[in-house]
Amino acid sequence: MQCNICEVRCEINKHSMGRCGTYVSTGNKITQYPGMGYLGAYPISIEAVPLHHFYPSGKFLQIFSTGCNFQCPGCMARMPASSRPPSQQSSLSPSEIVKRVLQQECLGVVSAINDPVANYYLFRDLAVQAQEKNLLVGCSTNCYFTSETLEEFGQLVDFVNVGIKGYSDRGYKNCGVTSSTPVFRNISRLFDMGVHVETSVAYSKGNEDDVIKVAEAVSDISSTIPLHVMRFLPFGYAPIELEPSVGEAEKICSALHRYLDFVYLFNSPGTKLLNTYCPECGNLLIEREFYRPFGSRLVKPWVSHKCSCGYSIPVQGKASTEGFSEAGLIDSYSISQAFSMVHAVLTCLGVLDDYKLMDIWGEDKLMDVWSKVSNPKTLTQIHYMIRQPYSYLEFIRFIAEKANMPKKGEELVSFIHKRLKIVQNLSAGKSSYYVYYCMGSPFFALNAGRMENNLVTFSGGVSINKQLQKEGKLGVSVSPSFINEHNPGVIFVSGFLSRPLDEFYALCQKYEIHVDAVTQHRVYEIPPSWDFGSPRWILGLMYIADKLHPGKLEVDLKKEADDFYLQFYGMRFKEARPNRSFHRPSSGIWPHTQTLYNDLKMEMPKQGSTKNFDNEIIQPFNILPALISSSKDDRKGVKPQ
């Protein structure tokens, strides 16, 4: 039977569960996989979806399950999106979700992380039960529904954030589907149906024209629809060269204001473009601060939506007078991040084949981790384990035990422990430097208790971040006066969300940050994933120690990096093309995937021309992920679309 939920229109039969991998045929109709439910349910602030013009600071219960109809390269939620359906014992039913919404006094429920397209019948049951309790219902979605399904879907939801892959068909073909047309058609129809619609689009270097066309297309529907610009972060196979700087992203957002009244910039700590400005007079109406790559939070409650010039901002629903802050790793981005950190350890243990990784994840061994990661207590436990150098070793042992690879786990622990002792002996003499650790901007300080600041203190430095009283996800905004008053002699810029040093120094000059680290050019950008998220932090620790104790570490950092990469990735550091991935050391072809790469290359005449295959293989939206996904579908008996 043909599935008509989305425009992929998979054939569902006894041999195929479709692209989503979550549907079955009972002979005369298509249903959800038996016993399928939701894997997690956590309260979040609505800005985490993100939505900026719907019940500001409202508390919603975020839910997620598995499956997706898209196969996007570099997807941050790839683990849950591509996992097999959960068993009834490890998931939550719609009635249990509604019960939690009421118990936790949330305004409603929002489906995120994986797309509700993959769980449509489950989501429909939930929406109906939620509406009966007068609860709000919404989701993040690629909105690739068929017209017939959208008519029903529009009656089920109060709000959506539609993730747009681009205006041209190319972006959609890179995700394994054919066209952008259904998405813009569906956005228009949802808007006409009275659903609150906000949109998101990724901006990478080279797709400026496409992003502008997205803004034009959205403005044709309504210029009041907010557009959230996601500064592209290269994960998976994507090379870091495609990541625009924060400054470049701010420039394109300014260009988009020619078409849309409200444009917001994400993945950019310290930017002012999370704020809402009056489209008529330009007045600052509400201030937000960076709270996570895909989220923000209000600095103060948004009580009035009317500007002094008389313009009324189209915001739906009453704003909460008290903002809700998620603890630890409990929110959509942080949950995905937690899986990425587990993935990073597994990679170092030798689980390099994605098929094997998914098999391990689905077995009781790591399904135990998966179900525990869905448990707030374990999320809290992991949150604290990854914040200190020695407790991180226990995190490695925890994952190694679940993967039944204790010996490999101890090899990794031993490598890190030996170098911890070297730095610990060096730092016994302390460093004379006061140290400031920021992310992306000099005005965004990492939280005092984060791993990065603990690496500084472990190395003997004095972290001025420890003076911060306020906390937020990743960090908090600070003023130039805070930096100047503490006068750090060294500034480290996070390896996860960074900013080119020329932009960094320019901002310091513009806002008169005249500390020793700036005037004496001791601002250092940590290599990607060398200070958080991956066991590679041990290399970051040695890098930090070397800067805080010049000439005293007596360790060849290049050799240390080569040793780590050879032992745990099977490649030299100098051969790696780094990006923002926690688990991947390179955006190119790993040695262990070379055979697969060669096999695919041999198959290319059947698929199309082999011209430029070697160059295209490392592009962010390349053919390799789609071919791998097709191979995986064939393994499962899924008919490739």
In a domain, 527, yes or no: yes
- Burial, 482: exposed, middle or buried (Cβ in 10 Å; 0-12, 13-18, 19+)? middle
208 plus 238 within the same structural domain: yes
188 plus 260 within the same structural domain: yes
389 plus 478 within the same structural domain: no
568 plus 628 within the same structural domain: no
- pLDDT score of 90: 60
In a domain, 313, yes or no: no
Q: CA-CA distance, 605 to 613, in Å (whole number)? A: 11
117 plus 219 within the same structural domain: yes
In this predicted model, what pLDDT tens digit does every residue of 45-56 receive, in sequence order?
999 899 999 999
Measuring CA to CA, which residue among 387, 505, 529 is closest to residue 447? 387
Residues 6+ apart with CB under 8 A from 546: 553, 555, 557
What's the full length of the chain, in residues?
641
In a domain, 469, yes or no: yes
Q: CA-CA distance, 416 to 538, in Å (whole number)? A: 6
Domain tally, the chain: 4
Range of the domain at 616: 591-636
In this predicted model, what pLDDT tens digit does every residue of 118-168 receive, in sequence order?
999 999 999 999 999 999 999 999 999 999 999 999 999 999 999 999 999
- Contact yes or no for 618/588 (Cβ under 8 A): yes
488 plus 547 within the same structural domain: yes
In a domain, 4, yes or no: no
Q: CATH code at 499? A: 3.40.50.1980
171 plus 286 within the same structural domain: yes
- pLDDT score of 336: 67
Q: Read out DSSP for 384-440?
A: HHTTSHHHHHHHHHHHHHHTT-HHHHHHHHHHHHHHHHHHHHHHTT--S-EEEEEES
The stretches in the chain having pLDDT less than 70 are 74-90, 323-336, 352-380, 587-641
End-to-end Cα separation, the chain, in angstroms: 14
**Residue finishing a domain among 427, 457, 480:** 427
Q: Residue 187 has which token pair? A: 């956005």
611 plus 558 within the same structural domain: no
- Contact yes or no for 36/85 (Cβ under 8 A): yes
Ranges of beta strands (E only) in 267-348 are 276-277, 284-286, 288-292, 295-298
**Residue finishing a domain among 404, 427, 450:** 427
In a domain, 115, yes or no: yes
In a domain, 311, yes or no: no
69 plus 169 within the same structural domain: yes
**Residue finishing a domain among 298, 319, 353:** 298
277 plus 372 within the same structural domain: no
In a domain, 5, yes or no: no
600 plus 462 within the same structural domain: no
148 plus 218 within the same structural domain: yes
Measuring CA to CA, which residue among 75, 68, 203, 48 is closest to residue 141? 68
